[in-house]
Amino acid sequence: MKQILVAVLALMFSGAGFAQDQKTPVSVGHTGKDEVGSLFVGAFNRQLSHSARYEPMKGLETGFRFYVSFVTLDPSDNSPEQGRRSVVSVVIEDMGRPNSLPVAEMWYHKVVVVKRQTVDETAKQLLEDMDARWCRTIRNATGGCPAEKFDPRAP
């Protein structure tokens, strides 16, 4: 019995095994009726579908998964400026961590201004920012993780 347990632990810590090849399912929700916000959420979904680490959630998933919630609005109140940019609030929660109750835990919340001409690039950067924050969240340290793209402390 000890040998089986040691073998299982060795596989888990060596990085071998099927869990490393699985993509994390991601559910995306959007509240907002502004045009640029909708374009941005669409661009994020496209980036998600091409990701090596994530995949769009196909239905009622069990196990580890992320929930991304976007709230978008057009900050302009005059006609010439409307439809040029969106203010996007992004909240990400995880659910289904091993050895825990299935309770959502928020680990990401940022507000980003997205311009119409940069929706695709900003969506790509958001996915990279999400990776960087998740790295810091699971490692509980700043060392060894990529820098966040949308870090409010950055100059």
Does any domain span residue 34? yes
User: Measured between alpha carbons, how far is 64 from 62 in angstroms, rounded to an integer?
Assistant: 7
> pLDDT tens digits, the chain, 155 residues: what are they?
444 443 433 333 333 333 456 899 999 999 999 999 999 999 999 999 999 999 999 877 778 899 999 999 999 988 888 899 999 999 999 988 776 766 788 899 999 999 999 999 999 999 999 999 988 888 776 678 888 888 766 65
Does any domain span residue 16? no
| Structural domain that includes position 130 | 22-139
Q: How many folded domains does the chain comprise?
A: 1
Model pTM greater than 0.85?
Answer: no
Does any domain span residue 29? yes
- The Cα-based distances of 18 to 5, 44, 50, 52, 119 in angstroms read 17, 27, 20, 15, 34
Which two tokens mark 109? 């919340």
Does any domain span residue 150? no
Q: Helices in 18-147 by DSSP H: which ranges? A: 35-49, 119-139
CATH number at residue 43: 3.40.50.10070
Does any domain span residue 145? no
What pLDDT was estimated at residue 81? Answer: 84
Q: Helices in 35-111 by DSSP H: which ranges? A: 35-49
Does any domain span residue 73? yes
Does any domain span residue 148? no
Does any domain span residue 52? yes
What pLDDT was estimated at residue 125? Answer: 96
